[in-house]
Structure 1
Amino acid sequence: MSQRILHVVTNVGHYDDPSHPTGLWLSELTHAWEVFEEQGYEQSVVSPAGGASPLEPRSLKFPNEDKTAKAWRADPAKMALLENTLSPEEVDAADYDAIYFTGGHAVMYDFPDSEGLQRITRELFERGAVVSSVCHGYCGLLNTRLSDGSHLIAGRAMTGFAWREEILARVDKLVPYNAEDESRKRGARYEKGLLPFAPYTVVDGTLVTGQNPGSAKATAKKVVAVLRAIA
């Protein structure tokens, strides 16, 4: 049977201030999707509430939008996947071999406290499947606890969008919290690359994380490597 990947995207379209739009950073989805597609994996998309996932406007402007994102936006079938995402209640974790949390600042709002996503993530991780995230996607791991009550990320090496990158992106005054600090508060062994925005990934067992949008492809390739190792 073909292995299956579950992508997680946001339902949120703006920061606390509605005049500042945000959403899914599209290339973080499309880069990974392409890597997984080349391996023949089946792929699905879920969001905390199900339904539509808005796109981060900044991700669609040069130099952030690349050919994979443009191709996705030009494909009605692909765009329909983001208009009709699954809800967590429609997902049986047993059907998937890996979960991949995409980013965009919007996920800081609706990923952390989604009990449905926490359930799926916990079930996957506890049976040895792959849990992965890129950029702000690690916000979806912050509050996930294992069956013994411990945080999934406690004591584990991981990465995600760094506070310095928030400052350089000029959104440090807009974001609702410092995700890097929050990961450390939960016991994660947070790591980051020497250069902001350069690709950087961390693998700790079946936990695979990437630091920023430029890390999406590398993160997906590491997911593939881990899936092969545990198959």
Structure 2
Amino acid sequence: MKKIDNRLALAQKKLKVTFNNQDLLVEALTHRSYLAENPKKEITNEKLEFLGDAVLDLVVTDFIYNNYRKLSEGDLAKLRANIVNAEVLATIAKKLKIGEYIVLGKGAEHTGRKTDSILGDAVEAIIGAIYLDQGIDKSNDFIIKNFKSIIKSKYKLKDYSDPKTALQERAILKTSQMPIYKIVKEKGPYHDRTFHAEVFIGDKMLASGEGKSKKKAEQQAAAKALRLKSL
């Protein structure tokens, strides 16, 4: 119990959020792999992740709508997609050192604290927990504080195109070939699958990515290929 209390205290210090209901933070940090090995605990962060995803989407949409009014509806949607995605969530998680505080099953301990999908899901779950504990205003403060620099950077760089479209345009320009995506691995229960995708130009594998849908996995692979300048 003392170990868990210390973990919660450190997590709240790093998040700069003090929870009224500590159980919500415990739930937000508990990955399903822990439940699989401790079925009597009966909590995982999946439902909070679902809620946090909706809150994050609303707050980011509100921010870009009110701050970038000259953008068209299409460009607003593309900008939001380049902010609310697995890669950005994992970046935020690493900045906040979320991996140090997640509660994992023993089988996931080896790689889970560095797995982008687990880290990103935890960020959304934490947002959901903040919303339930302290409401939309505090959720808004947390999101803007942690996402604002990324939002401004993507807007300044005119990074509106979704990663797959941007990679396709670059690939055609440089190689006259279309990127090919392959789903090479699926893991997790049927209702909560994680997909692993790889993107190729010809026989050359450019990058890989993972996500809770095939589309998200492909988007992450494309984003990594762009960031790594694989072309």
Compute the TM-score of the two structures, normalised by the length of structure 2: 0.29
Per residue, is there more helix in 1 or in 2? 2
The higher radius of gyration belongs to 2
